[in-house]
Amino acid sequence: MTGKEYIDRADESLDAAYEAPMSLAEYVDAVLETPQLAAHASKYLLDAIEDAGTRMVIEEGEEKERYRFFDDPYNDGEHAILGNTEVLNAFVDDLRSIAAGRGKDEKIIWLEGPTATGKSELKRCLINGLREYSKTPEGRRYTVEWNVAGAGGSATSMTYGNAAIEDEDDWYESPVQAHPLTVFPDDVRTDLLAEVNERLDDHIPIRVDGELDPFSREAYDFLEEQYRRQGETDLFSAVTQPAHLRVKNFVVDVGHGIGILHSEDEGTPKERLVGSWMHGMLRELDSRGRKNPQAFSYDGVLSQGNGLLTVVEDAAQHADLLQKLLNVPDESHVKLDKGIGMDVDTQLVIISNPDLEAQLNKHADREGQDPLKALKRRLDKHEFTYLTNLSLEAQLLRRELTNETQVWDPETWDELETWIQEPLTISVRDEVASATDKELAPHTVESAALYAVVSRLDSAEIPTGLDLVDKALLFDRGYLMEGDERVDIEDYDLETTAEDGDHGIPVTYVRDIIADLLHESQDRHHPDLPVEHVLMPRDVLNAVAEGLEDAPVFSTGEATEYEERVVTVKNYIFGQQEQDVLDAMMRDKRVDEATVEEYIEQVYAWESDDQIENERGELVDPDPLKMKVFEIEHLGRFDEKNYDGNDPDHAVEQFRTDKIITALNRHAWQRRDEEFRVSDVNPKEIPVINTVLGSYDWDDIKRTYEDFEPGQWDNPPSGTETARLKAKALDNMVEMFDYTPASAELTSRHVMSQVSYRWD
């Protein structure tokens, strides 16, 4: 595009976000037509979250509905909060209760959790989401601005800055985003809101409590006095005429409907809460014997967040301030000074690490005499934990290592599993600023993420026969395969405990370990190969485990415990690599879907004594030879001794009935709709069929390649079956699983080094 075209696009973007100012009457008409435009703070925040919609996810093995708002959709997922869906849903439930006035009005929402659990991402996600929602027609946010020029007063009487008043500059916006309906007297506003709520298609009515902010009240009172002196009888109409008052929409942002108190912010509690007096302005403005609220800065967190959201970040740094906030949710009021108060409408959220709770409990032994009891009663705590889902942790780790922001929203587990196992290429610059692409081989991110998750799981609550890796997989996809059978998490009676996700290896530690490995100049494990810049799963797992003892974030007990858990992860990842190599070696022997469907059709006909239609359209009996060949050659489950000629023995018959017919019937039943109709069922989507037909073992290799020698894999003699099979397998690994030639070589060598020990 040309420069002019980019300018035009920017114009269109701003035009879509802003409207021309309107009169108070026009605003009321707009609200009567679209009532949600007048929503109070907690309801507006709830509307913004719900407007983005929901999606289904699996966390801790359970299917949960998740609000897309927390995926940071307006910002391409850059600050998406991964996991913690139950915590976020509870947060939304609190907002719903607060917005409806159902007994939680006095509560301050408290989000607590260790570092790197998504709390800071929530703050950024709220800012992004509310900003973009306020740019949409249904999310417009409005306030008032005043102009007292021409009403007989001094020009400087309206300023809370040093700008000269002239023409359009005579207009001054409410510094605390005053709600336009607060201009109306209480009795009129009550009737107006009653009509608005009658037209509102929502079970949560709109509330607009409180009075005009002090700045706007000063303007209103000044105008009222001027027109009363002039003998004006319709005072409200005169004061609020378009020449003096207009309603404008604003784009929500930090300082403009969102107040953020950062950990480094300083000042007295009053300055941090609402702002400070500008003494030079007090001398310029006519204060009529008192402090003029137009000489106030309004740069405190409540002033900036009035009308929507107030966030106290790293609240342990502002523990002294929390007690000063008690009256805000109770009374929706805060004082600028002894004689000047301000009504506020804001949703209070405080964010902290666990150290705030220690501060709040320092007087707990005093029981009824605890001076912090009133504060603790008002705090509604929601605890963020470390991720306990492999797919979420893999996604988070990739985000930490790269600029990836896309939120994974797969259609199937197979699709998600592919993303988890994918390789990753990262460009690393050395001391002379030259860039080198370095590869994290397939399963490397998966291995690091799995190790972090396993370190966070409660080892005391594992069903017999399972290990921590099994628990991690159950939490991620909700089932395990036991042989040919799919067993769901409910069948294991496995539930999340308070210990799951409470502690463990944080993603930032793993990220730093990988970053250090990436800056090593070459592959340190295979100097005999022309292979550089490849990180393998075992490289990362060894480095993460070896660094635990010296890392200051872990106690001695934690380091020992986490180091012991690496073995199960290594075993699982090796199994994944081994299966990749097997599948690549047997790719040419894989059964096609048409052959699978033909076998299924033959088995169904055999079981029900039916006939099937052949390629010529003739009805014929099922072919016992075809079933036998399929079961021996493709399934590898049986051999000639299981058949009398082509007639199957009891073991084969039971396999066909239990593993094929029953599994297909069960899957078809699960796929039924509300009218008990069954949609098309793809046999290869059924776990039992997919496992039987899609997995191979070394017995299959022995049976298929009789002259294969795994001990020769590193340097196979030319012309041998091993050499031919290796060349084919490496090509297939690159094509099927996105290995590079280097990572395929290293992975296959690692697998064959273990296989050769047990080959004979």
pLDDT 10s digits, 36-75: 999 999 999 999 999 999 999 988 888 899 999 999 998 8
- Condensed to tens digits (0 to 9), the pLDDT of residues 626-647 reads 889 888 877 777 889 999 999 9
Q: At 393, phi and psi to the nearest 5?
A: -70, -40
pLDDT for residue 672 is more than 70: no
User: Helix, strand, or coil here: 152?
Assistant: coil
Q: What is the pLDDT at residue 478? A: 87
| Candidates 3.40.190.10, 2.40.50.140, 3.20.20.10, 3.40.50.300; CATH matching 35-149+168-382 | 3.40.50.300
Q: Are residues 388 and 453 in contact, defined by beta-carbon separation less than 8 angstroms?
A: yes
Strands, E assignment, 97-171: 108-112, 141-146
pLDDT for residue 677 is more than 60: no
- Condensed to tens digits (0 to 9), the pLDDT of residues 510-546 reads 999 999 998 874 444 455 554 568 999 999 999 999 9
Smallest Cα–Cα separation from 568: which of 641, 473, 643, 661? 473
| Parallel, antiparallel or unpaired: strands 647-648 and 141-146 | unpaired
Q: Where are the alpha helices (DSSP H) in 422-477?
A: 444-455, 468-477
Smallest Cα–Cα separation from 110: which of 360, 378, 312, 350? 350
pLDDT bracket for residue 387 (50, 70, 90): very high
Reported residue count of the chain is 760
Q: What is the pLDDT at residue 217? A: 94
**pTM, to two decimals:** 0.81
Instruction: Name the segment(s) of the chain with CATH classification 3.40.50.300.
Output: 35-149+168-382
pLDDT for residue 249 is more than 50: yes
Rounded distance, CA 421 to CA 444, Å?
7
pLDDT bracket for residue 498 (50, 70, 90): confident
pLDDT bracket for residue 164 (50, 70, 90): very low
